[in-house]
Amino acid sequence: MSPISRGFLGRRRRADGDPSRVPPGQYVTDDFPVLSAGPTPHTPLDEWSFTIDGAVKESVSWRWEEFLGLPAAQVTVDIHCVTKWSKLDTSWRGVSLDTLLETVETEAEYLTAWCDGDYTTNLALEDVLDGNAWVAYESEGGPVHPEHGGPARLLVPHLYFWTSAKWIRGLTLTPTDELGFWETYGYHNHGDPWLEQRYQGD
Binding residues for other proteins, rule: CB under 8 A, are 2-12, 25, 27, 29, 31-41, 83-85, 109, 117-118, 124, 126, 147, 176-179, 181-186, 189-190, 198-202
Q: Closer to other proteins at the Cβ: 61 or 83?
A: 83
Q: Closer to other proteins at the Cβ: 95 or 173?
A: 173
**Residue 1 Cβ, how far from other proteins at the closest point, in Å?**
9
**Residue 157 Cβ, how far from other proteins at the closest point, in Å?**
19
Q: Closer to other proteins at the Cβ: 53 or 109?
A: 109
Beta strand 60-63 pairing with 49-54: antiparallel
Residues sharing a CB contact under 8 Å with residue 60, sequence separation 6 or more, in sequence order: 51, 52, 103, 104
**Residue 2 Cβ, how far from other proteins at the closest point, in Å?**
4
Residue 87 near residue 147, CB atoms below 8 Å: no
**Residue 7 Cβ, how far from other proteins at the closest point, in Å?**
5
- Kindly report the number of other CB atoms within 10 A of residue 14's CB atom: 9
Q: Closer to other proteins at the Cβ: 18 or 31?
A: 31
Q: Closer to other proteins at the Cβ: 69 or 186?
A: 186
- Kindly report the number of other CB atoms within 10 A of residue 176's CB atom: 9
- Kindly report the number of other CB atoms within 10 A of residue 10's CB atom: 8
Q: Closer to other proteins at the Cβ: 21 or 63?
A: 21
* 174 bridge partner residues: 110
Beta strand 110-115 pairing with 120-124: antiparallel
**Residue 201 Cβ, how far from other proteins at the closest point, in Å?**
3
CA distance 159 to 18: 19
Q: What is the DSSP string of 29-55?
A: -SS-----SSPPP---GGG-EEEEEES
**Residue 64 Cβ, how far from other proteins at the closest point, in Å?**
21
